[in-house]
Structure 1
Amino acid sequence: MKIIKTVKDFNFKNKKTLLRVDFNVPIDKNHRIIDDTRIQYSIPTIKKIISDQGKVILITHFGRPKGKNLKSLSLNFLVHILSKKLKTHIKFHDNCIGDETEKKVNELKKGEILLLENLRFYKEEEEENEQFAKKLAKLGEFYVNDAFSVSHRSHTSISLLPKLFNNNKCIGMLMEKEILFLNKFLSGKGKKPITVLLGGAKIYSKIKVIENMINFSDYLIIGGGISYPFIKIKGGKVGNSIIKDDQTIDHRLIHSILSKDNRNIIHFPNDVIIADSFNNSANTKICNIYSIPDKWIGLDIGPNSIKHFCHIIKKSKTILWNGPMGVFEFKKFSTGTKSIAKAIAKSTTENESFSLVGGGDSIAALKTEGYDKKISYLSTGGGAMLEYLKNKSSIGIQSIIM
C-alpha cells in the first residue's frame, strides 16, 4: 500500500480542520453512553490538532435518521461529554452545512473545537452526493479521517469529501493504529502460532478473509453461523440451522477454501448446542455438527468444541477474533462466545499473546465479562475490519491517498 499521511505529518496552526470521526456510540434510553471506545480513541487526534493551535470542526453521523432532522438523534448530548474529556469548552451548531454554519466556523479561534450536527440529517450523506461534499468542503482547509468504523462506506464525507482537499488531507491516530495492527496480521509476521477466529452469521463478508488468512495462519477457527455452509458442503446434515446468504454464496469458493487446506489448519466445531426453536426458552441438546436433525437449529458451539478451541487459543501468540460462536444475544446460547472471550483475555495476560478483537458481538462479550481491558487492541470497526482484511485497504483510505 502507498504511504499514507497522518496528522503527525502536518502542522495545523490556525487552519480550519474538518475532522471526520465516528461518534455513533451506543446509548441507553436516557442518552447515557454505554460504550465510549470510539470517542476515547479519537481524543489523541483532536488533541494533536488543537495543540498545533488549529481549529477543529468535528463531523460525524449518529443513528439512522434517513435524511430527517430528528431531535432524538441530535448530537447536542455529546457537548458535555466531549467538554469533560477534552477539558475545554466544545461549541455546537445545529447544522452541518449552510451560511450560518460557515459563519460559526469562521468565528473559531485557534485551539477551539466546534461540533456540527448529525451528517445523516441530510440524505445526501449516504448517497455519495457531490454537491453535499462541496458544501462540507467550504468549512475546512484540511480534512482528517479518523472514522475507521465507517471507512468502508461509500458515503459522501468518507469517499467524496477528501478528494476536494488535494494534498491537505490525512488520517488520524485512530485510523493509523487500526491499519498498523491489521497489517500485522496481513503480513503474517506476527509471533507464531497465529490463530484467527471467525464467527457470526454473514458468511459472504468473511469468505475472502478466510481465503487471505489460510495462507499464513497456523489455526483458522470457523464457528457460529458461518460454519454451517462449510459443514453442509462437506456432506453434513445441518437441520434448520440458519445459513444466511445461502442463495448468494458461490459454493465453488467454499470448495476452493477446503481444497487449499492442505495443512489442516481449519478447525470447525465438532459438537453444537441445538434447539427446537429460535428463542431463549427453546428445548436444547448437544449434537454432532454433522448430524443435526431436521427442524433443529444449531445455536452455539458445544462443550467439546469449546475445550478444543480454548486449547488452541492457549498456545497461540497472535490472535484475531471477529464474530460470535453462537446466538450471543440469547443467554442460553452465549456460553461458547463467552468462553472464547475468556480464553483470549487469559492468553493475552498470561502468555503475553497479541490479541486483536473486532465486531460488536465479540467486543460486547468481552465487556460483559470484564475482559475488554485485557485485550491488546479492540478494533472500532466490525465491517470495516473485515473489509480491510479482505482488500488490504478501504474506500476511506483510498480517498486519502489518491
Structure 2
Amino acid sequence: MIKNIKTINDFNFNNQIALLRVDFNVPVNKYYKIIDDTRIQYTIPTIQKIISENGKVILISHFGRPKGIPSERDSLKFLIPFLSKKLKKTINFCENCIGENVKKQINELKNGEILLLENLRFYKEEEEENKNFAFELSKLGNIYVNDAFGASHRSHASITILPKFFGEKKCIGFLMQKEIKFLNKFLSKKNNNPITILLGGAKISSKIDIIENLIDFADYILIGGGMSYPFIKINGGKIGNSIIENNNKIEKILKIIFNKCQKKNILHLPKDVIIANSFKNTKNTKIVPIHSIPNGWMGLDIGPASIKYFCDIIKKSKTILWNGPVGVFEFSNFSLGTRSIAKIIAQTTEKGAFSLVGGGDSIASLKMEGYDKKISYLSTGGGAFLESLKNKILPGIKAIKK
C-alpha cells in the first residue's frame, strides 16, 4: 500500500512552504476542551520536522459539518492555545483559506513559523471536490503533505484534487506512514492465528463490505452493539425496539454473509443482552437472551454471558482488530460490555498479541479505562480505517501516488 508514495523523509523543507493537510476534527466538550487529542498528537512529529528544517507550515483542516456556512461554533480558533502549548510556538491564525489576505500572511511568515487557516468546510467547494478551490489552495505552498488519514477516504478538494497541482512535490506525513504500516502489518498477519475481528457500533451498512472481505481472513468475527440485531432479526429472533436499519437490501446481503460465515463457523453473536424500556441511563434493566427481547424494550449492552463468551475468544487470539462499542457505553449503566472488551484486549496484547483499534468510540473507551497505551496501535481514522480493510486504496493515498 505504501509503494510509489513519497514520504516526508524524501524532502528537505529548508526555505519551503509546506501546505500540510491535517485532520484536526477532534471531539470536544461544550467548553471546546479536547476530549481525545490522538489525531493531533500523531501529527506533531510531521510539523516538527518541517519547522526544524527551517520550513514554513500552513495547516489546513476541517472541523464539524458547517456545510459551507462559516460559524463561530465550527471555527478552528479553539486549537490555537492547544497547539501553541504542544509545539511551544506561537500559532498564527488566518480567518480565510484562500484569497489575498491569506497570501499576505504567508508572505509575512518567517522560516520555522506556523500558520493555521480557518475551517476548510466553511467553503462548500471543499466537499464538492471543486477544482478552482483546490487550485487557489495550491498557490499557498510549494510542497503538499497529507497527514490527514482520518479524512483520506473522502473525495474532497483538499484531499484528492489539491495534490494534482504539486507534481512531484507531494508526500505523506508521519501519521499517514504509521497508519499504512500498521494496517499492512495487520493484513499480513495471516499466519499469526487465531485472528479475531470485533465489530460493534450502531450501523451495519458501513461494515457489510468489511465483513465480506474478512470472511477468508479471520478465524473469529464477533458482532456486538447495534450491529448484532439485524443478524438476530434475519434468523427469526425477537429484537423488540432495538435500534436497527430497516432496509430490505441490507437484509438480503446479510443472509448471504450469514450463510457464508455459518459454513466456516466464524461468526459469533452475543448470547444475552441488557435491555431497558427507554433510551437513557436508566437502572430499570433486565438481562434476556438476545433473540427474546420483548416489545417496548431495547438492547443497550451485551450481557454477562456474552461478555464471557467474547472475552474467552479474544483471550486465545494472536491478532485482534476492534472497531465500535458493544453497547451504549456513554451511559454508565450500559458500559460494562465495552469496558470489559477494552480490558481483555489490553491484557491479551500485554501477553504478546498484536492489536489494532480504530474508531473514536473504541479509543475513547480504552482511554476511559487507561488501557490506550497497552494497545499495539490506535488508528486515528474511523471511516478511513474501515475503508482500508476493504482492501481499497484510499482516495487520499491514491492522489499522492507517483
Tell me the residue number matched to 1:369: 369
TM-score, scaled to structure 2: 0.94
- Whole-angstrom distance in 1 between the partners of 2:144 and 2:129: 17
What's the offset of the Cα at 1:253? 4.5
State the TM-score, normalized to the length of structure 1: 0.94
Residue 231 of structure 1 deviates from its aligned partner by 1.8
Q: Aligned to 2:264, what secondary structure does the other structure show? A: coil
Distance 1:245 1:162, change over 3 A: farther
CA drift of 1:238 comes to 2.1
| Counterpart residue number, 1:110 | 111
Aligned position for 2:381: 381
Comparing 181-190 and 221-230, the one that deviates more: 181-190
Deviations 1:165-189 (A, max 9, x none): 1221111111111111112222344
Give the corresponding residue for 1:161. Answer: 162
**What residue number does 1:353 align with?**
353
What is residue 79 of structure 2 aligned with on the other side?
A: 78
Is the 2:189–2:319 Cα contact (8 Å) retained in structure 1? no
The residue that corresponds to 1:124 in the other structure is 125
Q: Which amino acid aligns with 2:133?
A: F
Aligned-partner residue type, residue 156 of structure 1: A
Retained in 1: the 8 A contact 2:231–2:254? Answer: no
Counterpart Cα distance in 2 of 1:278 and 1:195: 30
Moved more, 30-39 or 92-101: 30-39
Asked if structure 1 preserves the Cα contact closer than 8 Å seen for 2:43 and 2:175, the reply is: yes
Please list every run of 5 or more consecutive structure 1 residues that lacks an aligned counterpart in the other structure.
none
Q: Is 1:298 equivalent to 2:261 in the alignment?
A: no
Q: How many residue pairs were aligned?
A: 401
Q: Indicate conservation of the 8 Å contact 1:186/1:213, yes or no.
A: no
C-alpha distance in 2 between matches for 1:190 and 1:57: 43
Cα contact 2:234–2:251 (8 A) shared by 1: no
Q: What is the one-letter code of the residue matched to 1:365?
A: S
Matched-pair identity in %: 67
Looking at structure 1, the residues matched to 191 and 122 of structure 2 have their Cα atoms a distance apart, in angstroms, of 43
Q: Displacement, 1:52?
A: 2.5
Partner of 1:199: 200
| Distance apart, 1:37 and its partner CA | 1.1
Structure 2 regions of 5+ residues with no counterpart? none
1:3-402 map, 5 Å? 3-189=4-190, 191-249=192-250, 251-281=252-282, 283-349=284-350, 351-401=351-401
Judged with a 3 Å threshold, the aligned counterparts in structure 2 of structure 1 residues 27 and 278 are, in CA distance, closer, same or farther, namely closer
**CA gap 1:30/1:252 in 2 versus in 1, 3 angstroms:** closer
Whole-angstrom distance in 2 between the partners of 1:244 and 1:360? 21
1:27 Cα deviation from its structure 2 partner:
2.3
SS state at 2:76 partner? coil
Q: CA RMSD in A?
A: 1.9
Given that residues 58 and 113 in structure 1 are in contact (C-alpha distance below 8 angstroms), is that contact kept between their aligned partners in structure 2? Answer: yes
Which digits, 9 at most, give the CA deviation of each residue in 1:26-72, with x for residues without a partner? 22333322221111100111112222222211111122222223233
Amino acid at match of 1:355: S
Q: Which moved more, 1:212-221 or 1:183-192?
A: 183-192
Mark the CA change 1:157 to 1:88 in structure 2 (over 3 Å): closer, same or farther: same
CA separation of 1:277 and 1:27: change in aligned 2, threshold 3 A: closer
Moved more, 295-304 or 128-137: 295-304
The secondary structure found in structure 1 opposite 2:18 is strand
Contact 1:145 1:171 in 2 (8 A): yes
C-alpha separation between the residues in 1 aligned to 2:305 and 2:4? 46
